[in-house]
A and B are shown apart, each in its own frame.
Chain A
Amino acid sequence: MNIRKINLRYSKWVIILAFITLPLFLLFTFTYLPFGEMVTYSFYKMKYIGERTFVGLKNYKDLFTRDDIFNSLKLSLYYMGGSVVQLVLALLLATLLSFKTKLGNLFKGILFFPFLINGIAIGFIFKFFFTHGFVFDTVLSWVGFPVESLPYWLKTQGLNNVSLVGTSVWRYLGQNMVLFIGAIMSVDSELYEAAELDGASKVQQFFHIILPSIKTIVTLNIILSITGSLSAFEPPFVITKGANGTGTYFIIMDQVAHTSQKVGLASAMAVFLLLIIFVVTIIQKLVLKYAFRNADTGSGKGDIL
């Protein structure tokens, strides 16, 4: 190679490295370094200030003997169920709204709006929304359900988790939908014409053209939804503060860390949650790889993960 080519390759690498330095530095300082410290904390018995005593794996052993932790993981199942509903609805609405529909933009706006509202405000809104005889009950009574027969949305254990999951779905449906709309719009419109010529119905078009083309985004959303369900915190925290059987894993971790000031145990809980997420993500990847094994996008792009 001549000198100019070597210089070009060299300068290319130098530029790349120069631009990467700052983000990598920030990533290290604000993500990896604190995470490393937290893993260290999980081997100690400590509060926020004061001395720390090394206890080895005791925190992890304590984790497994507590029943409130495993009960809280069961609550994630409610949130996972909710996220399935959310994804299906988002896909459906996205498909409908990707093509020219009357007032399409208005609907997109209305559906996306909840995502923009601050989490604490949502907590206040929904506490009043679910109060017996207030907003939700009044609306249902217009549709024909008498107020006395309606359950207590937040008091009844079991049902209160469904109410909270409903709030979460309401909030994130719009965001999922907009992502899907973006992905669907990237599908080549010639494919639809070709399919129509071949006599394919809309439903067949969806399953055989749209879904395979956007499989990357769908996979990503499924993975994010599942990990989001495992670490659900905001809806139960702002609406019920995790009381009355709505305390998810994250909320218990917050209680342990900030009220009982058992920082070591809380760090161990966080590490344990991370391990669960790893395992679940790997399982998901394998399952989805199998499910989408016949999908051929034609563009030759691989999975992003």
Chain B
Amino acid sequence: MKKLFKVLSAIAAAAVILSITACSKKEQTKSSSTGVISYSQVELGKTGTEISATIKLLTHRTDMLQSSYTGVTFAKYLEEFNKLYPNIKVEIEGITDYASIALLRLQGGDWGDIMMIPAIDKKELKNYFVSFGDLKTMEKQIKFATNWEYENQVYGIPSTGNAQGVLYNKKVFKQAGITKLPKTTDEFIQALKLIKEKTNAIPLYTNYAAGWTMGAWDAYLGGSATGDADYMNNVLLHTKNPFKNYNDGTHAYAVYKVLYDAAANKLIEDDYTTTDWEGCKGMINRGEIGTMVLGSWAFTQMQGAGPNPDDIGYMSFPITINGKQYASAGPDYCFGINAKASETNKNAAMIFVKWFTEKSGFAYNEGGIPISAEDNNYPAAYAAFSENNVAFVSDNPAAAGESDLFNALNSESELNINAGGNLKVQQIIEHAANGTKSFDAIMEEWNAAWSKAQTSEGVEIKY
């Protein structure tokens, strides 16, 4: 009996201990916001040299963690950073499939100190992230300050900026006899047809199988297709049937029609279901691909993928509005600092983010738009833009009180514009290649879904 009692109590104790260890969280020190330095106050090299901390950064750039990366790796950046701040150690965790995993980590709570802010509602920002400063101050410090701004506080600093355009191979264009860069969608399809006739290259490589490369087409329906800085976050939300045919080669209809026509006329790869993202970089470098529709961040990657970096060119999306071309420019993933981190860690993180934005040269190295407000050192990718007088259009934020309306409409309609809506664009290729649905019918469906979402959210139709 005594023995049994001993055994029983041991088991009960084990059960209790196991449940406690399973449920325990690390002690969170409450941090006072008054002690945290703001972004504009940080003077690199002077502020915070006494801070000793180890901070953790979550990143989507898993390629930069490998030593095989052709550009500048994270290890090199950290080496430079530690020359200035030897006592701040930065641990970096790379996450593949970043968009959905980051949301789960955010919900879980204990994720580190800095992360790239995923697609959340703006009103949730202050619950999870530290404010870098108020809007007026931040607009003098960085570009695209309004991207993660809510109630006059800025919560996210872009790691780099992208402009939306089209990658092309200069040699393939020359071989096909294309002398001027296409400026309208019709000219573009003509150019693709020339490439198919006169060269062996695939005119337009869609990268269908990767999924996200298809959702990337959504970025073009704002500034690039309309020239209007208010379109993406304001006009689109209040437009009736935004995917209708405007009959002038502009707006979303024109953008997706390029994809549909290319697929229907067999100007894309033969078997789009088995495209190879990593392989395509080498292919465009070697002249086996004519064009690819991707943001400017891809430029340096394509250059580095083979022996012909000078053959890679970047042009604006072929839409002309009243005789002028526009390119949407916007921030890439933005840094956010954990609101629940300790005060020391928050300060260390603030210093690291400022260094990365102003001194690391990350944006330039990655072929992106430099973020620091006074930095106008644009990399080579944008050469064609300045030659052709392409104007950069940065999307204005949503109207007051409507900051999360876009998310709500995206979710309700399931179109997920610029938010992972890969399937809808993939279906354009499927219907075009198999001849199962006309382009107008597809746009009708999207219009119907958008209208239904607008009704359900009680949105006023203004345009």
User: How far, in whole Å, are A18 and B6 apart by their CA atoms in the complex?
Assistant: 12
Contact A262 B430 (CB under 8 A): no
Contacts of A128 in B (CB 8 A): 274
- Closest 8 pairs between A and B when the two form their complex, measured CB to CB: A154-B273, A131-B274, A259-B420, A132-B271, A243-B426, A260-B414, A155-B273, A18-B11
In the complex, 22 of the A-B residue pairs with CB atoms within 8 angstroms, ordered by the A residue number, are: A11-B1, A18-B7, A18-B12, A19-B11, A47-B411, A48-B103, A49-B106, A49-B120, A50-B121, A132-B270, A152-B271, A152-B273, A154-B271, A155-B273, A155-B433, A157-B430, A241-B422, A242-B423, A243-B208, A243-B211, A244-B273, A260-B416
Contacts of B103 in A (CB 8 A): 48, 258
Please encode chain A, from 128 to 165, with 1 for each CB lying within 8 Å of some chain B CB and 0 for all others.
Answer: 10111000000000000000000010110100100000
Q: For residue B404, which residue of chain A has the nearest CB? A: A50
Q: For residue B9, which residue of chain A has the nearest CB? A: A18
User: How far, in whole Å, are A187 and B434 apart by their CA atoms in the complex?
Assistant: 54
- Which of the listed residues A18, A130, A242, A243 has the most CB atoms from chain B within 10 Å of its own CB? A243
Contacts of A18 in B (CB 8 A): 7-8, 11-12
B410 within 8 A of A: yes
Contact A243 B19 (CB under 8 A): no
Contact A22 B14 (CB under 8 A): yes
Selected contact of B419 from candidates A245, A256, A259, CB within 8 Å: A259
B247 within 8 A of A: no
User: How far, in whole Å, are A242 and B104 apart by their CA atoms in the complex?
Assistant: 22
Contact A131 B271 (CB under 8 A): yes
Contacts of B124 in A (CB 8 A): 49-50
Contacts of A22 in B (CB 8 A): 11, 14-15, 18
Contact B423 A15 (CB under 8 A): no
A14 within 8 A of B: yes
User: How far, in whole Å, are A244 and B426 apart by their CA atoms in the complex?
Assistant: 8
Selected contact of A259 from candidates B123, B208, B272, B421, CB within 8 Å: B421
Whole-angstrom distance between the Cβ of A13 and the nearest chain B Cβ: 11
Whole-angstrom distance between the Cβ of B395 and the nearest chain A Cβ: 21
Contacts of A244 in B (CB 8 A): 273, 426, 430
Contacts of B211 in A (CB 8 A): 241, 243
Please encode chain B, from 91 to 107, with 1 for each CB lying within 8 Å of some chain A CB and 0 for all others.
Answer: 00000000010011011
B441 within 8 A of A: no
Contact B15 A47 (CB under 8 A): no
User: How far, in whole Å, are A154 and B276 apart by their CA atoms in the complex?
Assistant: 14
Chain A: interface size category: 35 or more
B20 within 8 A of A: no
Q: For residue B10, which residue of chain A has the nearest CB? A: A18
Contacts of B426 in A (CB 8 A): 243-244
Contacts of A131 in B (CB 8 A): 271, 274
Q: For residue B436, which residue of chain A has the nearest CB? A: A157
Q: For residue B421, which residue of chain A has the nearest CB? A: A259
Contacts of A160 in B (CB 8 A): 273
- A interface, over-half SS: loop
Contact A262 B411 (CB under 8 A): yes
A213 within 8 A of B: no
- B interface, over-half SS: helix
User: How far, in whole Å, are A19 and B4 apart by their CA atoms in the complex?
Assistant: 12
A261 within 8 A of B: yes
B64 within 8 A of A: no
A255 within 8 A of B: yes
Please encode chain A, from 193 to 236, with 1 for each CB lying within 8 Å of some chain B CB and 0 for all others.
Answer: 00000000000000000000000000000000000000000000
| Cβ < 8 Å to B, chain A residues 63-92 | none
A42 within 8 A of B: no
Chain B: interface size category: 35 or more
Q: For residue B15, which residue of chain A has the nearest CB? A: A22
A31 within 8 A of B: no
User: How far, in whole Å, are A132 and B423 apart by their CA atoms in the complex?
Assistant: 23
B264 within 8 A of A: no
Contact B100 A127 (CB under 8 A): no
User: How far, in whole Å, are A245 and B437 apart by their CA atoms in the complex?
Assistant: 14
**Known contacts A260-B411, A260-B414; can you find 16 more A-B pairs with CB under 8 A?**
A7-B1, A11-B4, A18-B12, A21-B11, A48-B103, A49-B106, A127-B209, A132-B274, A155-B272, A243-B209, A244-B426, A244-B430, A247-B423, A259-B416, A259-B420, A261-B411
- Which of the listed residues B14, B124, B274 has the most CB atoms from chain A within 10 Å of its own CB? B274
A240 within 8 A of B: yes
| Cβ < 8 Å to B, chain A residues 90-127 | 127
Contacts of B123 in A (CB 8 A): 50
Whole-angstrom distance between the Cβ of A165 and the nearest chain B Cβ: 16
- Which of the listed residues A19, A49, A127, A245 has the most CB atoms from chain B within 10 Å of its own CB? A49
| Cβ < 8 Å to B, chain A residues 234-284 | 240-245, 247, 255-256, 258-262
User: How far, in whole Å, are A132 and B414 apart by their CA atoms in the complex?
Assistant: 32
A292 within 8 A of B: no
User: How far, in whole Å, are A157 and B437 apart by their CA atoms in the complex?
Assistant: 14
User: How far, in whole Å, are A118 and B87 apart by their CA atoms in the complex?
Assistant: 41
Contacts of B4 in A (CB 8 A): 11, 14-15
- Which of the listed residues B18, B272, B273, B414 has the most CB atoms from chain A within 10 Å of its own CB? B273
Please encode chain B, from 1 to 39, with 1 for each CB lying within 8 Å of some chain A CB and 0 for all others.
Answer: 100100110011011001100000000000000000000
Contacts of A259 in B (CB 8 A): 100, 414, 416, 419-421
A32 within 8 A of B: no
A25 within 8 A of B: yes
Contacts of B410 in A (CB 8 A): 260
- Which of the listed residues B123, B211, B271, B419 has the most CB atoms from chain A within 10 Å of its own CB? B271
Q: For residue A246, which residue of chain B has the nearest CB? A: B273
| Cβ < 8 Å to A, chain B residues 261-280 | 270-274
Please encode chain B, from 124 to 141, with 1 for each CB lying within 8 Å of some chain A CB and 0 for all others.
Answer: 100100000000000000
Whole-angstrom distance between the Cβ of A92 and the nearest chain B Cβ: 32
Contact B209 A240 (CB under 8 A): yes
Whole-angstrom distance between the Cβ of B187 and the nearest chain A Cβ: 29
Contacts of B127 in A (CB 8 A): 49
Please encode chain A, from 1 to 26, with 1 for each CB lying within 8 Å of some chain B CB and 0 for all others.
Answer: 00000010001001100110110010
User: How far, in whole Å, are A160 and B421 apart by their CA atoms in the complex?
Assistant: 22
User: How far, in whole Å, are A241 and B270 apart by their CA atoms in the complex?
Assistant: 19
Whole-angstrom distance between the Cβ of A61 and the nearest chain B Cβ: 14
Contacts of A262 in B (CB 8 A): 411, 414
Whole-angstrom distance between the Cβ of B176 and the nearest chain A Cβ: 24
